[in-house]
Amino acid sequence: MKVIVYNITNKLFDAEAKEVILPGEDGELSVLNFHQACLYSLRPGQVKVIAGRPGEDAEMRFPLKKGLAKIAPDKVVVLIEE
């Protein structure tokens, strides 16, 4: 799935990923390809993006104070305040 992470001024990440783990108001949410579409409010923590080929996983982390994630079946857009 396509994952894009923005802060107020820059695009921090724009690539394909296997999984995104979001620190939500109701707890952590793991997003995989074909997830149901929704908007998700984020609490302080880290957005974790797991990208790469099988056996070569790379995990990127983006710390945030608060944010919002727009989840679609094939795309996740995350807006964060650092």
CATH of the domain at 33: 2.60.15.10
| Structural domain boundaries enclosing 30 | 2-81
Q: Give the whole-angstrom CA distance, residue 64 versus residue 79.
A: 9
Read off the tokens for 31: 């997003």
pLDDT at position 26 is 83
Report the domain count for the chain.
1
Distance CA 10, CA 73 (A): 24
Round to whole Å and give the CA distance between 19 and 70: 14
For 15-68, what is each residue's pLDDT tens digit? 999 999 999 888 899 999 999 999 999 999 999 999 876 666 789 999 999 999
- Cα-flanking dihedrals φ and ψ of residue 14, to 5°? -155, 95
